[in-house]
A = this chain, B = another copy of it.
Amino acid sequence: MKSLHIVVIGGVASGPAAVAEARRTNADATITLFEKGPDISYSACEMPFLISGQINRVERLVRYTPEAFATKFSVDVRTHHEVESIDPTNRSITFRDLKTQKTAKISYDRLVLATGAKATVPNALQSAIKDLYVLRSLDDLRQIEKVIQKQTIRHAVVIGSGYVGLDSAWALKTRGLRVTLLSPSGMLPGALPPAMSQIIKAHLLSSGIGVRAERAVGIEKAGDGKIIAVLTAEGEKIGCDFVLVATGTAPGSELGLGGGLKIGSQGGVLVDDQMRTSAQGVWACGDCTERRELVFDASIRAPLSLNAFRSGRVAGRNAARLGHGRAMTISPLVHAATLALGALEIAHTGWTENEAKALGKEIVSATIQSRTASAMAENSPVHITLVAEKGSRRLIGGQIVGGTASAQRINVLTALIRAKGTVDDLYNVDFVYAPSLAPAQDPLFVAARTLQKSLG
């Protein structure tokens, strides 16, 4: 009997997870992994450690070299191979070998799309695109590292103030560069409540990072073609010689779209709870997908490391199984993320008040300020906002900004949101207390009590 041929497209995070799980599921399958870049299986989230100088070799970010991965999981790894189209009807793909520029078509039995997401660059900056930097791949990182090492940067401008923009700005500052962050909305990052944004802004400013609530509308270059300034909608000309664009990402769903797969409202390849796409024999996973969210059953993207791993596992398992046994399913998403800027931890889970109100929900929220530990121990401020549905008292989101161990508290909220818990369930949690680890009344407990009062 001919063995199953599984093709996985995309080698950064979710793709390798799919391959590994497919191999565990099916020892006999033939597996081919396509990756257009030179690298597979690396930790994109840790790239700022190289920029900051905390590590000094790109290789430290690589979990498996293509060779090691190929050997470990008996998979044909084809780096520098870009898949140009998929044909779910005939179960084939067309790819280009980027070294030889030759194209070829091969057939598959099962296909897994793990094509990730790509950085988006605003239209106004497109004309300067080859002189701008983004931070998505190891190759992006190598280019940034090359220009930093030249030691010619006097002023770096980071455009965009989401988690990636903040993380990159912090890393550049840690490296010793002068950095200005442009935040068009004035919010850092946009998902958090305004009061928290102010705390983050104050932290950046006191750490030596310039912050301006301006939108970049153009790039000015010198006669020799070098960038000399960013132009803003407010009419400013911000002199600089390095520009990193972090204005967001878009799902890499072109292959899916071209192959006729259903695309969701967020632009991602739509998948169900088995990570199946709309086409027979095609699964998708990771940053290129969007799927059901737990609280409001909305369709959302979650371009996050753990989702890449977990969804890759499910796609790989289901693509490789031979019909016996149950399909593996994945639980609906709660969108939760965190970031550290030095000693300041930022985290959010679920929905913000504004997002939920935009969906027409009746919402009550409460914001508290507390401390991370007893006043007698080392401690720092922590700010928490809780968001609940008015009638059901159900917890639907939370945002936290604060010092040590603040971010870990977000996981408590996520666990409760998943359990469809109310603010009363949060109040009832037996929070642990030791003076150097928490106040006698944990900040989450205080927040729950405050929200209970608002809900009546």
Contacts and interface: CB of A to CB of B under 8 A. Distances in A.
Interface in A43-97: 43, 45-46, 49, 54-55, 60
A437 B406 CA distance: 10
Interface in A396-424: 404-405, 407-412, 414-416, 418-419, 421
A410 B442 CA distance: 13
A55 B49 CA distance: 38
A377 B167 CA distance: 14
29 contacts: A45-B440, A46-B376, A49-B377, A49-B435, A54-B377, A167-B434, A304-B433, A306-B433, A306-B440, A306-B441, A307-B430, A337-B433, A338-B432, A340-B436, A347-B432, A404-B404, A405-B408, A408-B409, A408-B412, A411-B429, A411-B431, A411-B444, A412-B412, A414-B431, A415-B421, A415-B425, A415-B429, A419-B419, A419-B421
B45 A433 contact: yes
Given A306-B440, A306-B442, 7 more contacts: A43-B440, A167-B434, A305-B440, A307-B430, A345-B437, A347-B432, A415-B415
Contacts of A46: 374, 376, 435
Nearest to A336: B430
Contact of A425 (B418, B430, B432): B418
Contacts of A43: 374, 435, 440
A133 interface: no
Contacts of A309: 440-441
A349 interface: yes
B407 A434 contact: yes
A275 to B, nearest CB: 14
Interface in A313-365: 331, 333-340, 345, 347, 349
A434 B404 contact: no
Contact of A432 (B336, B374, B421, B442): B336
Contacts of A338: 432-434, 437-438
A8 B384 CA distance: 34
A329 to B, nearest CB: 10
A428 interface: yes
Contact of A418 (B45, B334, B428, B445): B428
Nearest to A428: B331
Contacts of A339: 434
Nearest to A432: B338
A309 to B, nearest CB: 7
